[in-house]
Amino acid sequence: MNNQRGILKNVIIFMASFIFVTLLSVIILAGIMFFLPAGRGISEYMPISNVVNVEEINWEHIEEAKGLGIILDNEGDVIKSFNFKNEKNNYSINEVLNLFNLRNSKHSTLVYDTTDGNKLLLSYPKSILSLEPTLNLNNFPGKNIELLPYALLLLLGFYIFLIYLVIRMLNNRLAKELKLMQTKEEERKDLLFRGLAHDIKTPLAAVIAYSSALKDNLVDEGEIDNYHTGIYRNGQILKERVEDMLNLTTLSDKGFYNPNNLNLLETIRRYAGENYTWYLDRGANIDLDFQEDEEFFIKHDVKLIERVLQNILENSVLHNEKNVNISISFDKIKKTLTFKDDGIGIPKEIQEIVFEPMITGDKSRTGDKLRGMGLANVKRIVNLHGWEVEYKDGIVINMK
């Protein structure tokens, strides 16, 4: 579960980083558009009224737009000219037409009346100003417009580079997470096999020792029955441990999972009632902390849930002194089952890993039960139902 959370955390970090990089790029683009404007207002490059005051004309902006200008009186005499290479003092109509290239389509020419009764002619290259309708009539190209494509290209490269860094970061984090998962899995398997070897070795050694003593006639006649009993008891222990190992492996196979939509609380009541005597004989009292007529229907495999109940309850009985009180409570809002007892509890140092195979609070591991497998089976069964189990001052099964 922790590994899944780690991977989910890394995916969330990647998504957040991607969003951050995208927003940063948008902000940079907005800055580029702000500091590299497409151009000034068209009124700064050409008059927008039919009658013009010559003193108010900004000739520098006209030059910036590669424009030509000339002011003629009614006789064709030149009052003022701007950007002309072959300047004359007087122009005929044909000369004016040729001068402004009005017979070709490379220039756009505008004619104005001046406030002092003369004519103003302005001419711009059509690449700068076209008299044909366009989508944008408000702006005149400026010098900075030439830098905009390079700025956008630079921004695109920067964005791709940031995305590369984010993906590389995610890849490294996921690689570390997967390596950690692999290491933990190898440690878990190593712990499992070492624990199994230890738990099987003890009763097996007892069976061999008892059998050898009987075979070599080293046992007094009055002790023979005790040796037979010891062989049988340790044989049963071996049988239980092998069964627990098989259960742990088969629980990964959904073929053994047969859920039905039944009243879970009734399943618990029935199990507690059918096994009441077994727990009572061992000094254990089970308290069902929910109403007798309370119901909670949810899909579950009755046989597997009974195994969960058996493993949890027997864990409380076998790991505590006699007269232990066990309570089973149900929260319908949170959809949780909680198992608590008034015994010694689970040591704090193993509470986070208590559901892993071969984990037990008994450091000697010399008991008659394979106690490191029971809660591992609980976790497998609970996960098989799509639920979660954890230890919080008791074993809590979350069915959300």
> For residue 218, is it within any domain?
no
Q: What is the dihedral of CA 150, 151, 156, 160, to 10 degrees?
A: 110
Number of domains the chain contains:
2
- Taking the C-alpha atoms of residue 339 and residue 305, their distance in angstroms, rounded to an integer, is 14
Residue 14 lies in a domain: no
Judge whether 191 lies within some domain. no
Please count the other Cβ atoms lying within 10 Å of the Cβ belonging to residue 359: 21
Distance of CA 67 to the CA centre of its chain: 59
Assigned token pair, 247: 């259960």
Secondary-structure percent of the chain, ordered helix, strand, coil, rounded to 5: 50, 15, 30
Assigned domain for 322 exists: yes
DSSP annotation string for 60-103: HHHHHTT-EEEEE-TTSBEEEEES-SS--SB--HHHHHHHTTTT
Alpha-carbon distances, residue 283 vs 269, 279, 307, 324, 328 (angstroms): 19, 6, 21, 7, 17
**Tokens representing 88?**
């004359």
Domain assignment present for residue 297? The answer is yes
- Please report, in tens digits, the pLDDT of each residue of the chain (400 residues total): 555 566 667 777 777 777 887 888 778 777 766 665 555 566 666 787 888 888 888 888 888 878 888 888 888 788 887 776 656 677 676 676 666 655 456 778 888 899 888 888 888 887 777 666 554 444 445 555 556 677 778 778 888 888 888 788 888 888 888 888 888 777 766 766 666 676 677 788 889 998 999 999 998 888 899 899 989 988 887 887 777 677 666 665 555 678 999 999 999 999 999 988 888 888 899 999 998 899 999 999 998 899 899 889 988 888 777 789 999 999 999 999 999 998 887 777 777 777 876 555 554 333 444 445 668 788 888 988 999 999 988 999 999 7
Let me know: does 39 contact 145? Beta carbons within 8 Å: yes
Query: What confidence score (pLDDT) does residue 79 get?
Result: 82
**What stretches of the chain adopt beta strand conformation (E)?**
39-41, 51-52, 68-72, 78-82, 107-114, 119-125, 139-141, 260-263, 285-289, 297-300, 325-331, 336-341, 388-391, 395-398
What CATH number is associated with residue 336?
3.30.565.10
Q: Do the domain assignments include residue 208?
A: no
Domain end (from 111, 141, 171): 141
> Which CA distances in Å does 48 have to 42, 51, 52, 205?
8, 9, 9, 109
Does a structural domain hold residue 239?
A: no
DSSP-assigned letters across all residues of 284-341: -EEEEES-TT---EEEE-HHHHHHHHHHHHHHHHHTS-SS-EEEEEEETTTTEEEEEE
136 and 268 inside one domain: no
Tokens at residue 258, please?
Answer: 């047969």
Domain finish residue from 141, 175, 209: 141
Contact 151, 29 (CB under 8 A): no
- The domain boundary, picked from 107, 141, 175, lies at 141
Q: What residue numbers bound the domain in which 281 lies?
A: 256-398
- Provide the whole-model pTM: 0.48
Domain assignment of residue 19, yes or no: no
